[in-house]
């Protein structure tokens, strides 16, 4: 998926305020599970949120893409980063918080896979633990036709990434056209990405099916909203 772009991922997303987002995440997790000290970031990519969150928590990450994980391991040699698929993974341990950010959930494409992914994430929560999922666009929110562009202008790295969006039923797809220049030369290539468009109700249903109490924050970290689920506490033991 990111095989051609893992090494330039951080430059392309340098505009994103990971530090501010991590501080907001830390606050919202602590408000729901005071003292939360462990966190798993699912679809962690190159680990930039983890680098920030590690100030407060013992962190781990999981991602499908070995190329992005390789960049993440260079950034965070002491943070365990697992290669795995969010639609079905078992790390054999639980965390106070699990996050899945920057619309990564859209990559699972189908409602069945959304439920499987939220279920797998929920099974990694401690009692009272917090699951935070930052969604991709809903079918009503996606606007076509659309053209997007990102430009990078570093001394030895120039990038223009230009794309349109196609929508076919519940799938949005992008052909990202990259023009990447370094002192060694200029390359052009196209990277294809597909993300599912899930409704508000489908997100809520996936959280409830996973046994979580769910709330929706419309603004979230960067205007895409957040689904926040809390796992049940064990029921109080009745002294007899």
Ligand X SMILES: C[S@@+](CC[C@H](N)C(=O)[O-])C[C@H]1O[C@@H](n2cnc3c(N)ncnc32)[C@H](O)[C@@H]1O
Applying CB under 6 A, the residues found at the interface with ligand X are 1-2, 13, 43-45, 48-49, 63-65, 68, 85-87, 101-102, 104, 107-108
Give the 3-state secondary structure of 107-160. HHCCHHHHHHHHHHHHCCEEEEEEEEECCCCCCCCCCCCCEEEEEEEECCEEEE
The rounded distance, in Å, linking the Cα atoms of 227 and 133 is 5
C-beta closer to ligand X: residue 39 or 108: 108
- Cis previous bond, 145, omega within 30: yes
Would you give the DSSP letter of residue 47?
A: -
Q: Do 86 and 100 form a contact (C-beta atoms < 8 A)?
A: yes
C-beta closer to ligand X: residue 26 or 87: 87
Please give the residue whose beta carbon sits closest to ligand X in the complex.
45
C-beta closer to ligand X: residue 24 or 128: 24
C-beta closer to ligand X: residue 33 or 49: 49
Run of H or E including 161: strand 157-168
Least separation in angstroms between residue 56's CB and ligand X is 17
C-beta closer to ligand X: residue 120 or 125: 120
Structure tokens at 20: 């501010």
Structure tokens at 149: 């562009």
* E strands present in 71-117: 81-83, 95-100
**Of residues 183, 233, 193, the one with CA closest to residue 211:** 233
Least separation in angstroms between residue 117's CB and ligand X is 7
Q: Do 79 and 50 form a contact (C-beta atoms < 8 A)?
A: yes
C-beta closer to ligand X: residue 72 or 129: 72
Nearby residues of 34 by Cβ (< 8 Å), 6 or more positions away = none
C-beta closer to ligand X: residue 43 or 214: 43
Least separation in angstroms between residue 55's CB and ligand X is 17
3-state secondary structure of 208: helix
Least separation in angstroms between residue 24's CB and ligand X is 13
């Amino acid at each position: 998926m990111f095989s051609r772009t893992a090494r330039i991922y951080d430059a392309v997303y340098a505009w994103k305020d990971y530090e501010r987002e991590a501080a907001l995440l830390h606050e919202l997790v602590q408000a729901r599970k005071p003292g939360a000290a462990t966190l798993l970031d699912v679809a962690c990519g190159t680990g930039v949120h983890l680098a920030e969150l590690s100030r407060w928590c013992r962190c781990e990450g999981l991602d499908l893409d070995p190329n992005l994980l390789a960049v993440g391991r260079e950034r965070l040699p002491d943070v365990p980063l697992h290669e795995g698929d969010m639609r079905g993974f078992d790390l054999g341990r639980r965390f106070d918080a699990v996050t899945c950010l920057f619309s990564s959930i859209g990559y699972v494409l189908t409602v069945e896979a959304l439920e499987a992914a939220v279920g797998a994430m929920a099974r990694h929560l401690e009692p009272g633990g917090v699951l935070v999922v930052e969604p991709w666009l809903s079918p009503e929110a996606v606007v076509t036709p659309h053209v997007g562009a990102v430009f990078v202008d570093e001394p030895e790295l120039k990038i223009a990434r230009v794309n349109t969006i196609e929508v076919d039923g519940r799938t949005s797809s992008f052909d990202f056209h990259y023009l990447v220049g370094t002192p060694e030369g200029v390359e052009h290539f196209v990277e294809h990405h597909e993300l599912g468009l899930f409704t508000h109700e489908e997100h809520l249903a996936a959280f409830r099916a996973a046994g979580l109490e769910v709330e929706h924050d419309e603004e979230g970290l960067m205007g895409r909203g957040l689904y926040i689920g809390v796992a049940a506490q064990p029921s109080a033991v009745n002294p007899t």
